[in-house]
A and B are shown apart, each in its own frame.
Chain A
Amino acid sequence: MAESRGMFFKSAVVASYALMLAPVVMVIIISFFRQEIISFPPEGLTMQWYVNAWERREFARGFVTSLQVAAIATAIGVPLGTAAAYALARAKLPGREAISTLLLGPLAVPGVVAGTALYMFYLRAETWLDQDITATLSGLVAAHVLLTIPWTVRLVTASLQGMDRSAEEAAANLGARPPTVFMRVTLPMLRPGVVAAALFSFIQSFENLELTLLLVGPGRTTLPVAMLSYLEFRMDPTLAAVATVQILLVTAMMLITDRFVRLSRVI
């Protein structure tokens, strides 16, 4: 009896991880298959699809756009989110709870609702300002900054809570002014949290689909949107190669993050 329960437990663990990892592993395997139509076993292995993928303009440009958007959105969102987290933790703020809920809001509102709302808002703003916003880099970046704020606030708040304040107090007692204390003491101590926030923000932006879907236009598409439009017609090794590049990028960023903060502690 106890034996069979142990078996049930083990098979549930194996089934969970198989469900989570099988599709990711499968994409990587398929990207090396020689034949264009997916079938098993492979007729041989090749790297040709990676060249193919890069030569398809929608993927190459989507990749570059996604990198640009993620990098700029992270560069804007992480400082804003860090400043907000610091103020929330240290300043006497009226309505702190409400502000904190507002800042975490982009995580709570479903991407579909936020995405359509933002699309309508952009169209309205275009009429007011007489300027293109949808399908521009700035329009995409603004939307993605929204994604980076809640992650930054969450991760930096967690580091602020775990921080020993005596070093800050010592610096202040020795005559350092508040901005100096922040730049020379607090910020260096927050580094793991800020780095984790930056990497998470980058990944969230890079892989985002729902918020982005209506904001792209011809000639300016992000990689996930380009992949989705392709997949609505077919799945083949070229797409698998593109997806594998995304998997490698995310894995690399996670491993770097893990060196700064133990991922098992921040999530």
Chain B
Amino acid sequence: MAALVLPAALLVFTLLVAPMALLARISLNHYSPTELMVEAFTAENYIRAVADPYYQQVLATTLGVAFLCTVLTVLLGFPAAYWLARMESNRKSIATILTLLPLLVGNVVRSAGWMALLGNEGGINAALRALHLTSGPLQLLYTPGAVIVGITAVVLPYMVLTLAAVIESIPRQAEEAAANLGATASTVFRRVVLPLSLPGVAAGSVLVFILCMNAYATPLLLGGPQFKMMAPAVYDQFVRGNNWPFGAALAFILLVATLVLTVIGSMALSRRYRG
């Protein structure tokens, strides 16, 4: 019976682990404009990526956007998750579908929606003009703000669903008992609901942060040509640049930066949770 695990394990090993080992090896190769990739064992791609001000800026932008979006997602997602978790069961099914639907239709479709909303002739500018709040169109699309709104919207369902699962496991009686003993709504929230849902906040933030760091379609479509995040920069090296060793090094820098910050973040959160 144990052999039943083999086909799936072999498949994941061949199509994920082996390719990543190969990518790691390629990141140590040398690139020459005439011969493209030359077999070597050098850290030059990593050094170039870390030293180049352009890529420093790209990484800084990516980190900034990921932090901001994660914080926004927690602040917006918590009330939504609480609302979803404490809902009556027959309406809850519909609300869950409405939370899952945007997640499952894909990033490209949602980016298209934001383009239609944020464009100069788009929904938001048309509404502002109809209300006589603005005279000319506001530049909303192709701005960093558009990317932040777009990514926050993309990752929000993950946070809401993760938090809702944790909040659901908090017995209502705990809240009711605190309220009966005279705690105000905000005290119940601060002293009962929030401490008990911190593991969910940690898990949700980690998941969302990883997704933000690696966002591809949203920054590409909503950010405009000047705005660069890491994931599109990695693909550029493979599609346009043909500099595979450098692209591979960028991919690993992105992976390591994501992992290190995720580990630090969840350690800090879990320490607070225990204390």
Closest Cβ of chain B to A109, distance in Å, is 7
- Report the number of A-B residue pairs with Cβ-Cβ less than 8 Å: 285
Q: List 10 A-B contacts (CB under 8 A).
A: A15-B76, A20-B102, A25-B113, A26-B114, A30-B116, A112-B254, A214-B239, A224-B108, A227-B109, A267-B96
Partner of A254, one of B101, B119, B123, B149: B101
Which residue of the partner chain A has the closest CB to B96? A264
Residue numbers of A with Cβ under 8 A of B are 2, 5-6, 8-10, 12-13, 15-17, 19-27, 30, 37-41, 80-81, 83-84, 86-88, 90-93, 99, 102-103, 105-106, 108-121, 124, 142-143, 145-146, 149, 153, 178, 203, 207-210, 213-214, 224, 227-228, 231-232, 235, 239-240, 243, 246-247, 250-251, 254-255, 258, 262-264, 267
Interface pair B213/A110, CB less than 8 Å apart: yes
Residue with the greatest number of chain B CB neighbours at <10 A, chosen from A10, A27, A143, A224 = A27
A114 — which chain B residues lie within 8 A by C-beta? Answer: 16, 19-20
**When A9-B79, A231-B115 are in contact, do A19 and B149 touch as well, CB less than 8 Å?**
yes
B111 — which chain A residues lie within 8 A by C-beta? Answer: 23, 231
B96 — which chain A residues lie within 8 A by C-beta? Answer: 263-264, 267
Report how many residues on chain B are interfacial, defined by Cβ distance under 8 Å.
90
Closest Cβ of chain A to B8, distance in Å, is 4
Within B73-131, which residues are at the interface with A (CB < 8 Å)? 75-80, 82-83, 92-93, 96-102, 104-117, 119, 121-123, 126-127, 130
Q: How far is the CA of A90 from the CA of B165 in the complex (A)?
A: 26
Within B209-257, which residues are at the interface with A (CB < 8 Å)? 210, 213-214, 216-217, 220-221, 230-231, 234-235, 238-239, 244, 247-248, 251-252, 254-255
Which residue of the partner chain B has the closest CB to A23? B113
